Structure 1
Amino acid sequence: MWPIKWNSGATGTKRKEKDGQKDNDGDKGSKRERKFHKKWLDDWKWLVYDGYMMFCKVCISYEESGKGRSKYPINFVKGSNNFRTSALLDHEKSTFHKDATDFETTKTNPKEAPARRSLLALQEHKRKTLELYFRNIHGIVKSKRPISDFLWLNKLDIARGILDSGETYNNCKAATCFMENSAEVEREGILESVKNAKFFSLTMDGSTDEASIEQETLFVRYCVQGDVCTKFLTIGEPASTSSADLYTFVTTNLKKRELNKGISLIGFGCDGAANMMCKKGGLVTLLQKDFPELLACHCLAHRLELSFRDMVKGDKKYERLSTLLLGIFYFYKRSPKQHSNLRHTFEVMNVKGTLPHRVSGSRWMPHMQRALKSLFSSFPGYVSHMQNESHTNPKAEGLVKIMCNFQVIVYATVLLDVLNPLVRLSLFLQSKDVTLADVHLMVQSTLSHLKSLDQKKSDTLLNLEETKEVAGMPLTSAGPFDSDSLIKKMVTGMTKAISIRFADLGDEVKFTKIANFRNWPMEELKGNND
């Protein structure tokens, strides 16, 4: 049986006529009234309400600045009475409002500006790239490598992926620019340290470059909190080497770096040339007019070299020995074949010899000492090889004849005995922490050592005179040779030359004795064990 029944009197339900019609209040056809909600001011900080209309203060400021322009009117700039949440959200998502927000952020906090962040990212990349270039040139300069190494070092960084490829900075001209800027920054730090000191001194020396142009270097020496520092200041080309032009060079550099004000120049070190030390019109005399406290000091190591030159000046035996040593050097230097044959001779004879050293140079004593030591240590190899070559090489025949001469070898032995204490003194004079008082004591010690050579011959000389051979190689003698008179002549000549060259250190030594505790008097405590 069908379960649905029909009941009389039943009524059906009525459908709503319109979506906006209310079921309960009977107010059919009326619209919903929209109002402004105060909580919107908390949700949207840019929103402003004047009681009638809504405005966007960010967009208004953006338009008034002249930066914001739009083809269509912006409701929240002129005012909007569309009190809907969707209207606020639509405005917040609009392009004009986003641009206005970025403009306001840039104005109130420039560091957070999008353009600045993009620029910083780009600048950071460039900064890291430039940092690599500066590090490469710094490493090259510190390692004393040629600037051309800058190119392959950059190629290595490019291959490692830490440097971008490009030719803008990857060239020798850019490397020079990086080097000059690094030097300028380093120089500024040095000048700042110098200005913190009360006094400073200068050391000056000159030399010619490959283009035969005179280049003068200046070093500054100062003391800060007990720490004595010597730093490179500058290098430049004076108009000439006259005292007037050198004076202009020095004063111009001091004025350029503001070292002529508030700080005193009290010392000046240089060589003993007339344009430097002449009392009438030398550079020192000109500087003393501007700096009355200035004391000049002739380079101590250079004085010693000049003393040695005074001692051997006009000595025929020294000239013969120098010719021999220089001839041996060039005999092997200019011929790879002779160079190779000499090495083979050392191996066959089991001689631990060395290749000859050049005897000429700016430092006569150390060069001569190395050349003489090489001669005696390699003597059997030199003689054996040159005797074999003498059959076809006249130069080798002449050199080996001089080398095996007894008088020449005796002179070389005596000269080496004299040079040993002189070279030790030279190295001492070149140390950074030496004082004039130390120099005085060391010079006196060297003179005492030289005088002792006149009283007793060295064991090497005694053995040579007895056997008349060197390392088993016989020597030829043309007649008797008085080594005693030779020793006396060398010792007397060297002692006299040193005394003359160092004679003007008397007053300066008195002032510097207090600078070293070794020069202080020691009080002997008798009967007291404390």
Structure 2
Amino acid sequence: MFQLMYTPGAIPGKANKRHLSEEEKISAKKKYESKRTRSFQPSWEKSFPWLTYNSESGKMFCTFCIKTSNECVFTTGCSNFKVETLNAHQESRGHQKAAGEHHAKSAPTHSKTSEAANCLLKLKQNEYQKLIIKFRTAHALAKSHQSFNFYNTICRLDKVKGLDVGKSYLNDKAAASFTKAIAEVTRQKVLQKLRQSPFFSFTIDGATDFTGEDLENIYVRTCIQGQIQDTFLYIGSAESATSRDIHNLILKVFEEYGISDVFEKRLVGFCADGASNMQGLKSGLAALIREQQPYCIITHCLAHRLELAFKDAIKTSSTSKLYDKTLTLLIGLYYLYRRSPKMKKQLKNAFTTMEIKQVLPTRIGGTRWLPHMERAINAFLGGYRAIRAQLETGSHNNPKAEGLAKLASDGHVIIYILLLKSVVRHLQKLSKYLQTTGLSLADAYNRVAATKTVLLNMMGRFWGQRSVHLSELFLNTATECG
């Protein structure tokens, strides 16, 4: 009883606690938070409809921001389990914009009642139609190998025609951007084919652009549900033309496109020309590929093999000198009239005077060598009278024309050209057939055998044993093709 004391202001039933200062409160709160373990509360999903929780990662996500690509901590995952964090995110400007877009997309459309919505849809549709016209223009320029500088001209032409192309994206930079977008979409389709195909093969060949830089073209062949497709994949330059650098380029391309596993597990075939850096037995590209894929089938390009067979047949025949004279004549005619406007004008006048259809000499070489040779031979024979007359007339002042006139009047050369036309006519058809899309080795073998039979029959029918030298070309070409 003696311990009972009177305390002024005391309230019965409550202890008289000592008041803490602000610094003591902050220190106590930090100490409490350091020991406290926070966790996700399921009740938060009812208070915040946009909130989702992933138990595997242990993080919270905002569905509105994810759907509208609003970059914030709730799109990558938030682990700060506090109500204050949720309230702060809900009040942020980015989340409110994302929530508005989400509700606008999910809300039912009332086309008859919402005039603002109809106006917005019409505006979007109008812009969409303008972009369609521009995308098609850029695509046409790229497909026809035209400069993007013509893009603005075509857009102005579309305006004259009455098409609405707008006032933006009318320069060459816009055309380049549209073309890149089209190429990216097309590339994704090709990559999808590669992922779906159980196996694939590819072919690679060199090319040179207008600057003289060496480029490598890569085409892939896929087979999906029995349908064979040849598709362009990539064009670019390697560090050098060696097999090792080309192999590194191929691996880099498949790695950048995210299909390295497809290259390692599904590659069954490789095709290229007969160059040493491609088909070399020890250090060629084919040998490097076989080190990783031992069961890969290596194929020498059939069209290249046909051209090599034709050249070998020419070299082994006794008419090789006549062939050299023929090439000299055809190539000389092409460059004579190409580089001399005066001679070209005289040749046109000769066609007009003789009332012959005008056919100017064409180039004998090219990417498709045999078809180019046939076209050059047909152009020479079709305009032979006018060409020879013009050469004999112009030979008085032009030494080149004089030399070509002697070759054009040589009977042995003319007979050889007629013979060569008969051979090349069938070989160029075979060459084009071997370059068709989706061709199988069985079809190619049958076509080669048929062409060989035709050449042998032609040799027996037209020449037989009467002219051994002329028939050698048929026999050697048929043998090399077989």
Query: What is the TM-score when the length of structure 1 is the normalising length?
Result: 0.64
Q: Give the length in aligned residue pairs.
A: 372
Q: Which residue of 2 aligns with 1:498?
A: 481
Secondary structure of 2:423's aligned partner: helix
Secondary structure of 2:283's aligned partner: coil
- Does structure 1 residue 488 correspond to structure 2 residue 482? no
Distance 1:106 1:416 in 2: 74
Distance 1:486 1:368 in 2: 22
**Percent same amino acid among aligned pairs?**
33
Is residue 305–residue 363 contact of structure 1 (8 Å, CA) maintained in 2? no
Distance 1:361 1:139 in 2: 25
Question: Superposed, which structure 2 residues align to 1:172-321 within 5 Å?
Answer: 172-261=172-261, 264-313=266-315, 315-321=320-326
Cα deviation, residue 119, structure 1:
8.5
Q: 1:432 aligns with which of 412, 430, 437?
A: 437
Is residue 277–residue 284 contact of structure 2 (8 Å, CA) maintained in 1? yes
Distance 1:483 1:353 in 2: 36
Question: Superposed, which structure 2 residues align to 1:42-191 within 5 Å?
Answer: 106=100, 109-111=103-105, 127-159=128-160, 160=162, 162-166=164-168, 169-191=169-191
Distance 1:184 1:444, change over 3 A: same
Distance 1:252 1:349 in 2: 61
Cα deviation, residue 171, structure 1:
2.3
Secondary structure of 1:198's aligned partner: coil
Distance 1:108 1:143, change over 3 A: closer
Q: Which residue of 1 aligns with 2:390?
A: 385
Q: Deviations over 1:143-178 (max 9, x none)?
A: 443322211122234554613324xx3322232122
Is residue 229–residue 438 contact of structure 2 (8 Å, CA) maintained in 1? no
Q: Deviations over 1:124-152 (max 9, x none)?
A: 66555444432221222234433222111
Distance 1:363 1:128 in 2: 41
Distance 2:466 2:209 in 1: 44
Is residue 219–residue 232 contact of structure 1 (8 Å, CA) maintained in 2? yes
Q: Deviations over 1:354-399 (max 9, x none)?
A: 1111113333322222222222221111122222222333322221
In structure 2, give the amino acid aligned to 1:291.
Q
In structure 1, give the amino acid aligned to 2:472.
K
Is residue 270–residue 276 contact of structure 1 (8 Å, CA) maintained in 2? yes
Is residue 396–residue 402 contact of structure 2 (8 Å, CA) maintained in 1? yes
Is residue 363–residue 372 contact of structure 2 (8 Å, CA) maintained in 1? yes
Distance 1:163 1:415, change over 3 A: closer
Q: Deviations over 1:471-509 (max 9, x none)?
A: xxxxxxxxxxx971322331333234334xxxxxxxxxx
Indicate the RMSD between aligned Cα atoms, in angstroms: 3.0
Distance 1:491 1:346 in 2: 34
Q: Deviations over 1:178-204 (max 9, x none)?
A: 211110011112211221111111111
Secondary structure of 1:457's aligned partner: helix
In structure 2, give the amino acid aligned to 1:219.
Y
In structure 1, give the amino acid aligned to 2:139.
H
Distance 2:203 2:229 in 1: 12
Is residue 158–residue 165 contact of structure 1 (8 Å, CA) maintained in 2? no
Q: Deviations over 1:444-479 (max 9, x none)?
A: 222222223332326xxx9xxxxxxxxxxxxxxxxx
Distance 1:389 1:483, change over 3 A: farther
Q: 1:453 aligns with which of 448, 454, 458?
A: 458
In structure 2, give the amino acid aligned to 1:156.
L
Q: Which residue of 2 aligns with 1:421?
A: 426
Is residue 377–residue 421 contact of structure 2 (8 Å, CA) maintained in 1? yes
Secondary structure of 2:467's aligned partner: helix
Q: Which residue of 1 aligns with 2:375?
A: 370
Q: Deviations over 1:377-436 (max 9, x none)?
A: 211111222222223333222211211111111221222222222222212212224221
Distance 1:350 1:121, change over 3 A: closer
Distance 1:302 1:452 in 2: 25
In structure 1, give the amino acid aligned to 2:475.
T
Secondary structure of 2:219's aligned partner: strand
Secondary structure of 2:217's aligned partner: strand
